Amino acid sequence: MEARTAKSELTRASIVGAALDLAAELGLEAITLQAVADRLGLSKSGVFSRVGSREALQQAVIEEYDRRFLTDVFVPAMQAPKGLPRLNAMIRRWIERTRIVEAHTACIYVAGAFELDDREGHLRDQLLKGVMGWRAALRRVVTQAVEQDHLDATIDPDQLVAEIYALMVGMLHDARFLRDVRAADRTHSSYGRLIKSYTRPRAA
Protein backbone atom coordinates (compact mmCIF):
# COMPACT_ATOMS: atom_id res chain seq x y z
CA MET A 1 0.00 0.00 0.00
CA GLU A 2 2.78 2.41 0.96
CA ALA A 3 4.73 1.49 -2.17
CA ARG A 4 1.72 2.24 -4.38
CA THR A 5 1.21 5.55 -2.59
CA ALA A 6 4.85 6.52 -3.01
CA LYS A 7 4.74 5.59 -6.70
CA SER A 8 1.57 7.65 -7.17
CA GLU A 9 3.20 10.64 -5.47
CA LEU A 10 6.28 10.32 -7.68
CA THR A 11 4.08 10.12 -10.77
CA ARG A 12 2.18 13.23 -9.67
CA ALA A 13 5.47 15.05 -9.07
CA SER A 14 6.61 14.07 -12.57
CA ILE A 15 3.34 15.35 -14.04
CA VAL A 16 3.63 18.70 -12.27
CA GLY A 17 7.30 18.96 -13.24
CA ALA A 18 6.53 18.29 -16.90
CA ALA A 19 3.70 20.83 -16.80
CA LEU A 20 6.06 23.39 -15.26
CA ASP A 21 8.56 22.80 -18.06
CA LEU A 22 5.76 23.26 -20.58
CA ALA A 23 4.67 26.51 -18.93
CA ALA A 24 8.25 27.80 -18.95
CA GLU A 25 8.51 27.09 -22.67
CA LEU A 26 5.07 28.09 -23.93
CA GLY A 27 3.14 29.75 -21.11
CA LEU A 28 0.63 28.69 -18.48
CA GLU A 29 -2.21 28.52 -20.99
CA ALA A 30 -0.27 25.91 -22.98
CA ILE A 31 -0.74 23.43 -20.14
CA THR A 32 -3.30 20.76 -21.01
CA LEU A 33 -3.75 17.27 -19.65
CA GLN A 34 -3.12 15.81 -23.09
CA ALA A 35 0.06 17.82 -23.70
CA VAL A 36 1.51 16.68 -20.38
CA ALA A 37 0.41 13.10 -20.97
CA ASP A 38 2.17 13.11 -24.34
CA ARG A 39 5.39 14.36 -22.77
CA LEU A 40 5.42 11.62 -20.18
CA GLY A 41 4.00 8.77 -22.24
CA LEU A 42 0.92 8.54 -20.03
CA SER A 43 -2.76 8.46 -20.86
CA LYS A 44 -4.83 11.60 -20.43
CA SER A 45 -6.98 9.75 -17.91
CA GLY A 46 -3.84 8.76 -16.00
CA VAL A 47 -2.88 12.42 -15.68
CA PHE A 48 -6.39 13.38 -14.65
CA SER A 49 -6.56 10.69 -11.96
CA ARG A 50 -3.52 12.20 -10.23
CA VAL A 51 -3.98 15.95 -10.64
CA GLY A 52 -7.62 16.48 -11.58
CA SER A 53 -8.70 19.17 -14.03
CA ARG A 54 -6.54 21.32 -16.29
CA GLU A 55 -7.08 24.28 -13.97
CA ALA A 56 -5.99 22.20 -10.97
CA LEU A 57 -2.82 21.25 -12.84
CA GLN A 58 -2.12 24.88 -13.74
CA GLN A 59 -2.53 25.87 -10.11
CA ALA A 60 -0.26 23.00 -9.02
CA VAL A 61 2.38 24.32 -11.42
CA ILE A 62 2.29 27.78 -9.82
CA GLU A 63 2.50 26.21 -6.36
CA GLU A 64 5.51 24.15 -7.44
CA TYR A 65 7.19 27.22 -8.93
CA ASP A 66 6.59 29.06 -5.64
CA ARG A 67 8.17 26.17 -3.75
CA ARG A 68 11.24 25.95 -5.97
CA PHE A 69 11.74 29.71 -6.00
CA LEU A 70 11.55 30.01 -2.22
CA THR A 71 13.80 26.98 -1.75
CA ASP A 72 16.48 28.47 -4.02
CA VAL A 73 16.23 32.12 -2.97
CA PHE A 74 14.44 32.80 0.29
CA VAL A 75 15.24 29.87 2.55
CA PRO A 76 19.07 29.97 2.20
CA ALA A 77 19.10 33.77 2.52
CA MET A 78 17.37 33.53 5.88
CA GLN A 79 20.64 32.17 7.29
CA ALA A 80 22.21 35.61 6.83
CA PRO A 81 22.00 38.15 9.68
CA LYS A 82 18.87 40.30 9.83
CA GLY A 83 18.81 43.53 7.91
CA LEU A 84 20.89 44.48 4.91
CA PRO A 85 23.04 41.30 4.91
CA ARG A 86 19.85 39.24 4.57
CA LEU A 87 18.41 41.49 1.87
CA ASN A 88 21.69 41.36 -0.05
CA ALA A 89 21.72 37.57 0.22
CA MET A 90 18.16 37.36 -1.11
CA ILE A 91 18.89 39.57 -4.10
CA ARG A 92 22.21 37.87 -4.84
CA ARG A 93 20.52 34.47 -4.88
CA TRP A 94 17.61 35.85 -6.93
CA ILE A 95 19.98 37.20 -9.56
CA GLU A 96 21.91 33.94 -9.68
CA ARG A 97 18.74 31.84 -9.97
CA THR A 98 17.57 34.09 -12.78
CA ARG A 99 20.93 33.75 -14.53
CA ILE A 100 21.04 29.97 -14.19
CA VAL A 101 17.35 29.05 -14.57
CA GLU A 102 14.95 31.72 -15.83
CA ALA A 103 17.34 33.26 -18.36
CA HIS A 104 17.20 29.94 -20.22
CA THR A 105 13.54 29.05 -19.69
CA ALA A 106 11.20 31.68 -18.30
CA CYS A 107 10.21 33.26 -15.01
CA ILE A 108 6.66 32.16 -14.25
CA TYR A 109 6.16 35.22 -12.05
CA VAL A 110 7.07 37.65 -14.85
CA ALA A 111 5.99 35.75 -17.97
CA GLY A 112 2.80 34.60 -16.24
CA ALA A 113 2.00 38.16 -15.16
CA PHE A 114 2.16 39.39 -18.75
CA GLU A 115 0.15 36.38 -19.91
CA LEU A 116 -2.62 36.83 -17.34
CA ASP A 117 -2.58 40.57 -16.66
CA ASP A 118 -5.86 41.25 -18.48
CA ARG A 119 -7.71 38.17 -17.27
CA GLU A 120 -9.69 37.29 -14.18
CA GLY A 121 -10.05 33.96 -12.47
CA HIS A 122 -8.47 31.43 -10.14
CA LEU A 123 -5.28 31.06 -12.18
CA ARG A 124 -4.52 34.78 -12.08
CA ASP A 125 -5.38 34.86 -8.37
CA GLN A 126 -2.99 31.97 -7.68
CA LEU A 127 -0.14 33.65 -9.55
CA LEU A 128 -0.86 36.98 -7.87
CA LYS A 129 -0.74 35.29 -4.47
CA GLY A 130 2.76 33.97 -5.17
CA VAL A 131 4.06 37.27 -6.54
CA MET A 132 2.62 39.34 -3.70
CA GLY A 133 3.88 36.84 -1.14
CA TRP A 134 7.41 37.25 -2.49
CA ARG A 135 7.12 41.04 -2.55
CA ALA A 136 5.82 40.97 1.03
CA ALA A 137 8.86 38.91 2.06
CA LEU A 138 11.15 41.47 0.43
CA ARG A 139 9.32 44.28 2.19
CA ARG A 140 9.72 42.60 5.58
CA VAL A 141 13.45 42.26 5.08
CA VAL A 142 13.75 45.87 3.91
CA THR A 143 11.84 46.97 7.02
CA GLN A 144 14.21 44.94 9.18
CA ALA A 145 17.16 46.66 7.49
CA VAL A 146 15.65 50.01 8.48
CA GLU A 147 15.11 48.78 12.05
CA GLN A 148 18.75 47.66 12.18
CA ASP A 149 19.86 51.15 11.02
CA HIS A 150 21.29 49.66 7.83
CA LEU A 151 18.97 51.72 5.62
CA ASP A 152 17.72 55.27 6.04
CA ALA A 153 14.66 55.45 8.30
CA THR A 154 12.91 57.82 5.91
CA ILE A 155 12.72 55.38 3.01
CA ASP A 156 9.51 53.94 1.62
CA PRO A 157 9.98 50.13 1.71
CA ASP A 158 7.42 49.63 -1.06
CA GLN A 159 9.37 51.99 -3.31
CA LEU A 160 12.60 50.08 -2.79
CA VAL A 161 10.85 46.75 -3.43
CA ALA A 162 9.35 48.13 -6.64
CA GLU A 163 12.76 49.31 -7.82
CA ILE A 164 14.36 45.95 -7.05
CA TYR A 165 11.57 44.20 -8.94
CA ALA A 166 12.10 46.53 -11.90
CA LEU A 167 15.79 45.61 -11.96
CA MET A 168 14.93 41.92 -12.12
CA VAL A 169 12.37 42.35 -14.89
CA GLY A 170 14.99 44.32 -16.81
CA MET A 171 17.52 41.55 -16.30
CA LEU A 172 15.11 38.98 -17.72
CA HIS A 173 14.47 41.19 -20.75
CA ASP A 174 18.17 41.64 -21.43
CA ALA A 175 19.12 38.03 -20.74
CA ARG A 176 16.32 36.43 -22.74
CA PHE A 177 15.47 38.91 -25.50
CA LEU A 178 18.78 40.72 -25.99
CA ARG A 179 20.73 37.58 -25.05
CA ASP A 180 23.13 39.75 -23.11
CA VAL A 181 25.53 37.41 -21.33
CA ARG A 182 26.44 40.25 -18.94
CA ALA A 183 22.86 40.87 -17.81
CA ALA A 184 23.48 39.33 -14.37
CA ASP A 185 26.68 41.32 -13.85
CA ARG A 186 24.91 44.53 -14.82
CA THR A 187 22.07 43.76 -12.41
CA HIS A 188 24.48 43.12 -9.54
CA SER A 189 26.07 46.51 -10.23
CA SER A 190 22.73 48.29 -10.53
CA TYR A 191 21.52 46.77 -7.27
CA GLY A 192 24.69 47.91 -5.51
CA ARG A 193 24.16 51.49 -6.64
CA LEU A 194 20.48 51.33 -5.74
CA ILE A 195 21.16 50.15 -2.19
CA LYS A 196 23.89 52.76 -1.76
CA SER A 197 21.32 55.45 -2.50
CA TYR A 198 19.14 54.11 0.33
CA THR A 199 21.92 53.57 2.87
CA ARG A 200 21.49 55.38 6.17
CA PRO A 201 23.79 58.43 6.31
CA ARG A 202 26.52 58.03 8.91
CA ALA A 203 27.57 60.78 11.26
CA ALA A 204 30.97 62.28 10.54
> How many angstroms from the chain centroid is the CA of residue 159?
19
Instruction: Tell me the CATH number at 190.
Output: 1.10.357.10
CB 172 within 8 A of CB 102: yes
Count of the separate structural domains present in the chain: 1
**What is the pTM (predicted TM-score) of this model?**
0.88
Q: What is the mean pLDDT of the chain?
A: 91
Confidence of residue 200 (pLDDT cuts 50, 70, 90): low
Asked if residue 7 has pLDDT above 80, the reply is no
How far apart (Å, rounded) are the C-alpha atoms in residues 144 and 84?
8
> Residues 6 or more apart from 151 whose CB is under 8 A from it?
84, 142, 145, 160, 195, 198, 199, 200
Looking at the chain, the whole-number percentage of residues with pLDDT higher than 90 is 78
Segment 114-129 mean pLDDT: 91
Residue 147 within a domain: yes
Residue 19 within a domain: no
Concatenated DSSP letters of 11-39? HHHHHHHHHHHHHHHH-GGG--HHHHHHH
Residue 80 within a domain: yes
Q: What's the domain range around 101?
A: 55-198
Segment 12-24 mean pLDDT: 93
Write the pLDDT tens digit of every residue in 142-184: 999 999 999 999 999 999 999 999 999 999 999 999 999 999 9
CB 52 within 8 A of CB 99: no
∠193-197-201 over CA atoms, to 5°?
Answer: 130
Residue 45 within a domain: no
Determine the angle formed by the axes of helices 2-26 and 33-40, rounding to 10 degrees. 110
Residue 124 within a domain: yes
E-strand stretches of the chain: none
Confidence of residue 204 (pLDDT cuts 50, 70, 90): very low
